[in-house]
Amino acid sequence: MNNQIAAKAYVEETLQAKRFAVLATEHSGQPHASLVAITPIGGFRHLIFATYRSTRKYRNLAHNSKVAVLIDGQAVNSSGLKEGFVLTALGQAEEISVEEYEVARRAHLAWHPDLESFLRSADCALVRVTVSEYQVVGAIDDVKWWRIDDLAGT
């Protein structure tokens, strides 16, 4: 239980501190990675990002909604060494519905005010990733997996 509490705190703190992540998608066996501006919604259960519908990532999501979202939680200390963890969220992505769009848009703009004109584009879609589990990597031999239900129960 102590490890679950620490993992939950780490996940929440990382999501509050980091604004960008690498989104991994796939189509027909070809992986694709994209830098996206993320916003956590519902604590650590959901992440949202915006993309144009004309992008490869959007087309990939239409064929396969399974994604990985890698968030670098590492920081460089005064000695120039990296400290911290790398967090990967695994889950399913879906375009946010018209009914939920305005609330999600406002939340995303609160974290990324510089994206206002991007979000106004008719081609822009907001996508929600429903996270099923997180992988927390502290070092090459320090890898832990946490299911959302395990973290939510702490």
pTM comes to: 0.89
* Start-to-end Cα distance in the chain: 7
pLDDT at res. 75: 60
pLDDT at res. 138: 78
Task: Quote the CA–CA distance of 58 and 92 in Å, as a whole number.
Answer: 13
Q: Specify the DSSP class assigned to residue 115.
A: G
Cα 17 versus chain centre, distance? 12
CATH superfamily, region 2-152: Electron Transport, Fmn-binding Protein; Chain A (2.30.110.10)
Q: pLDDT digits over 40-94, tens only?
A: 998 789 999 999 999 999 999 999 999 999 998 766 455 555 566 789 999 999 9
Task: Quote the CA–CA distance of 11 and 85 in Å, as a whole number.
Answer: 10
Tell me the one-letter amino acid at 93: A
Partners of 139 in beta bridges: 142
Residue-range domain boundaries for the chain: 2-152
Q: Pick from 130, 127, 133: which is nearest to 58 by CA?
A: 127
Which two three-digit tokens encode residue 113?
């005010």
pLDDT at res. 59: 97
Task: Quote the CA–CA distance of 56 and 34 in Å, as a whole number.
Answer: 9
121: phi > 0 → left, psi -120 to 50 → alpha, else beta; which? Answer: beta
